[in-house]
Structure 1
C-alpha cells in the first residue's frame, strides 16, 4: 500500500504490516467501534476501516495526523483523526477494537527522556516499555465487553511483561502473530547497546516482532 509520508512520520514497516494482518482477521462491520493509537500514516486505521467500521485514529505528532488524514481521504475511508497522547483525546469512550503500534525501542539508560521529532515514534526508555506500560494500564478499561486489544512490539521490549500486565487488567491474552526480521536502521545503530544490555547475543542483528491480543470477556 503506497501511503503519503512526510518527513518525520514513522514509515510503515514490518511491525505495521504484522499488526494490520491481525486487524484483517478480526470480525468488523458497520457497527464496530475501532481506535487506532500511534497511527502514523494511518495504515492500520485503513485496514480497520475496510468493512465500514467506525474508526478513530490518534497520534501525538501533528505531521502524522496530517499524513493519516490525507491517506484516509485519498482512499475514501471515513476515519476520525485526533491529535493527542494515547487515549486522552477519546476520554470516556469505549471501543470494540483498540490497536496500537507504540514506541518500543530501548534507549541508553542515561538518556533522560525519549528523543524528539521522528525519534518519538520509536524511543521508549531504557527498557523499551515507557509507552507500553502506560498503554497496558489504560487501554483495557476502554474496551467494550468482548472487545479486543492488539499491540505490536519487539521481543526486545519484554513481551511476557505485556502479557502479564494485560492479564492483571482482566484480559484473556495470547500471542496472535510473530515474525522475525533483520534490524532496520534504528535498531542497527543501537545494536551495540542491545548487546551490552544483554537483549541480543553478540553479532545478532534480527528481532522478533510480536502482536499481543487481549480480550475483555466481562
Structure 2
C-alpha cells in the first residue's frame, strides 16, 4: 500500500481495513494493462497500488474532496489514474473491469439512509451497515468481465453470510480469504450503547472482526 499519502480534511485515511484488502490485492495476478476499478477511493491508496502494478485504473468516489485527494496523490507519484466523481453505478456504467477492489462504508448507524455530506460518508451505511455493500454485490456482475474478481472488505458486524449469499445469488463464486481483529475505533465506541441495543455487538466487546471477501464472476 503506498506510504506517505496526503488527505484533504474529511477524507478517510488508510487504516486496518485498507491494509487488509491491500494485502489481498497484492496476491492477485494482474496482467499489464488489466482494467481495475476502485469503488470509494478516498486517498487513492488501493487504486495507486494497482496502478503501480501496471493496471489501467479507474477510481470513483462520491466525495469531491476524495477525488481531488486521489488525483493529487497520483500526480505526486506520477502514476496514471483516472479518478471520477459520483455514484459508482452511474460513473462507470457500460464499462467492464478485470478486478474491482473496494473498502466501502459499512459501519451501522442510527437513521435509515446514507449521510449526504461530511466525513461520515466514508463509513456510515444505514442501520445494518449494508446499504453500499448490497449495491456493490448486486451490481458487480454488470461491471466485471467473465473471470473477473471482486475484493471487498467489511466488518463482521454487517453479516458475512449475507454478503456471501448475495454474491452467490448474483452468480459469483465467493469466499472469505482473510480475517483480522482490530480494536474498536472512536466511531464504534461512540455508538456502543446503540450497537448493543441492536444486537450488533456484545457488552464489553472491544475487538472488531474485519473480513476480506473474494468473489469471482464465472
Same fold, judged at TM 0.5 (above): yes
- Provide the rounded CA distance (Å) in 2 between the counterparts of 1:35 and 1:112: 28
1:21 is aligned to: 23
| Contact persistence 2:112–2:127 (CA under 8 A) | no
Structure 1 stretches of 4+ with a deviation exceeding 2 A read 112-116
| Contact persistence 1:140–1:149 (CA under 8 A) | no
Superposition pairs of residues 49-64 of structure 1, within 5 angstroms: 49-64=51-66
Q: In the alignment, which of 9, 12, 36 is matched to residue 10 of structure 1?
A: 12
Tell me the secondary structure at the aligned position of residue 201 of structure 1: coil
> Any gaps of 5 or more consecutive residues in structure 1?
none
- Provide the rounded CA distance (Å) in 2 between the counterparts of 1:112 and 1:17: 29
Superposition pairs of residues 130-145 of structure 1, within 5 angstroms: 130-145=131-146
- Provide the rounded CA distance (Å) in 2 between the counterparts of 1:38 and 1:57: 7
1:33 is aligned to: 35
1:208 is aligned to: 209
2:195 is aligned to: 194
- Provide the rounded CA distance (Å) in 1 between the counterparts of 2:171 and 2:104: 21
Superposition pairs of residues 40-79 of structure 1, within 5 angstroms: 40-79=42-81
Is 1:89 matched with 2:91? yes
Tell me the secondary structure at the aligned position of residue 77 of structure 1: coil
1:7-41 CA-partner distances (Å, limit 9, x unpaired):
11111110111111111110013221000000000
> Any gaps of 5 or more consecutive residues in structure 2?
none
- Provide the rounded CA distance (Å) in 1 between the counterparts of 2:177 and 2:149: 11
The alpha-carbon deviation at position 113 of structure 1 amounts to 2.7
| Contact persistence 2:36–2:98 (CA under 8 A) | yes
The alpha-carbon deviation at position 117 of structure 1 amounts to 0.8
1:113 is aligned to: 113
Count how many residue pairs are aligned between Structure 1 and Structure 2.
215
1:121-163 CA-partner distances (Å, limit 9, x unpaired):
1111110001111111111221111100001100011111111
1:67-121 CA-partner distances (Å, limit 9, x unpaired):
000111111211100001123111111000001111100112xx24333310111
